Amino acid sequence: MTSTAAPGGVQLVRLPRVQEAVRATWSLTERHPVRASFLVAAVVRLIAAVGITHFSGYLFGDESEYVILGRLAAAGHLTPAFWSGYGETLFHTAGSFMWPIVLLFKLFGANRLVAALWAGLFGAVTAALTALIVDRALGRRWSALAGLTVALFPSQVLWSSVVLRESMVWAGLCGAAVGILIFSQAKHWQSLAGATLIVGVALLSLAFLRSWALLPAAWAAASPSADRGRVPFAT
């Protein structure tokens, strides 16, 4: 450790070991961008979800609706008459998000934090899939940067640390993109089958999340599939 004098007599301490640690961390992140993006995103969202749940009320009106519906469904009390039919309609419209929450509420208790962590999981998945897409298109360095940007961008953190379905929509869109990339570059039937399965699961999930997200994903899945060897979306 060395120090230098700055104007005004302030001592600036150089920390070469810290710099080396930062370089080593970034080097490790570049070698494993997908895992690093997922891990960073998961930790950040865990902290954010715990903080928001324990120190704040609902930040968005939809949050309370999802939690109420999840609690009622977990207790077997969600009926067509609830909210004049709107409750059951909303529940099934967001089925991909709500059905697992009902199961989680039954297993771990109908706690708001449980639902927030479910959303946070898909925020981390989105960061990892973003890194994977960019890795295929541009390489490892840009992959790490893209994945960490999604992992740490404030709006991404916020919207995937509360009880909202948006993080699952993003993950579904990224999942469809990954499947399309694999399909376009596949050379064996196993890869084609795996890519088809990934796209199918992503589209099915989006069908019970947001119809506006399903349509462009389905169009993208159909239109570039014959253009083998070309990376879709990379222009």
pLDDT of 190 reads 86
Q: Which amino acid is at 157?
A: V
Residues 6+ apart with CB under 8 A from 129: 171, 174, 175, 177, 178
Q: Looking at residue 230, what is its pLDDT?
A: 46
Tell me the CB-side half-sphere exposure of residue 135, using CA atoms within 13 A. 21
Residue 30 CB: number of other CB atoms within 10 A? 16
Domain ranges within the chain, ordered by starting residue: 33-222
Give pLDDT, residue 14.
Answer: 60
pLDDT by 10-residue block (mean), the chain, 235 residues: 51 62 66 90 96 90 95 95 93 96 96 96 97 87 91 95 96 94 83 90 94 89 58 40
Please give the Cα distance from 54 to 48 (Å, whole number): 10
